[in-house]
Amino acid sequence: PKATQTRNCTMTKTKNSLSRASVRRQFPNTGKGEWYNADKAPTPLKSRKANHKPTRLRSSISPGTILILVAGKYRGKRVVFLKQLESGLLLVTGPYRMNGVPLRRVNQAFVIATSTQVDLAGVDTAGVTDALFKGAKPSTKKSAQKDFLAAEAAEKAPVSDEKKALQKKVDAALAKKIKAVPSLKDYLKSAFTLSSGQYPHNLKF
């Protein structure tokens, strides 16, 4: 049986139609076949892996909003939202001196936005990016014991000077803004907790 036949179409070339030259692939037994486009090499489907849309920021959250952390190490703390990082995570700070929360990334899902806002004019957070929060890379050596020791060492690594400097810079500017609002400092110092008779679906944050 013939392996391939070719034909030339006289159809006008539109985006999806066959081009001038098309090749027929024939199935030997049934004689049935299909015409496919000879010119175009099959194009792979467009990969969606690289096409990341930015994480949508909840409408209740805007720079300066005070958030309540609802999970994690600092759960219950009231914290100031600074900006959304490229990774989609929220950049947040205590400030550190007020409630012990450092510059930290937080996922929107683990945060309740309150209606309280702080004015962030003059607070410069441009120096804080996702790269600042990347941990030490694990060693690629195969030795299991070495990896374990390296992991331990990485856990105990002290806070980098770069982070401390940025923390001080951001917090200094922020603290001024907070002190301008009456009771806000005490608000940030206190923790959020549900008490008897308080049900989250009834609470207005």
Number of residues that bind another protein (CB under 8 A): 25
Beta-sheet pairing, 104-106 with 111-117: unpaired
- Compare residues 181 and 191 and give the one whose CB is closer to another protein: 191
Q: Which of 22, 75, 78, 104 binds another protein (CB under 8 A)?
A: 75
By the 8 A CB rule, do 24 and 35 touch? yes
- 1-9, 106-114, 156-164, 168-176 -> range binding another protein (CB under 8 A): 106-114
CA distance 133 to 154: 13
- Compare residues 113 and 123 and give the one whose CB is closer to another protein: 113
Is 23 among the residues that bind another protein (CB under 8 A)?
no
By the 8 A CB rule, do 118 and 66 touch? yes
By the 8 A CB rule, do 161 and 169 touch? no
Is 110 among the residues that bind another protein (CB under 8 A)?
yes
- 20-28, 32-40, 46-54, 190-198 -> range binding another protein (CB under 8 A): 190-198
Q: Which of 12, 53, 186, 199 binds another protein (CB under 8 A)?
A: 199
Is 85 among the residues that bind another protein (CB under 8 A)?
no
CA distance 6 to 72: 66
- 43-51, 104-112, 118-126, 141-149 -> range binding another protein (CB under 8 A): 104-112
- Compare residues 5 and 60 and give the one whose CB is closer to another protein: 60
Three-state SS for 26? strand
By the 8 A CB rule, do 72 and 101 touch? no
CA distance 64 to 178: 10
Q: Which of 37, 55, 87, 108 binds another protein (CB under 8 A)?
A: 108
Hey, what are 13's tokens? 């070339």
Hey, what are 175's tokens? 């603290």
> Interface residues with another protein (CB under 8 A)?
58, 60, 70-71, 75-76, 97, 100, 108-113, 191-195, 197, 199-202, 205
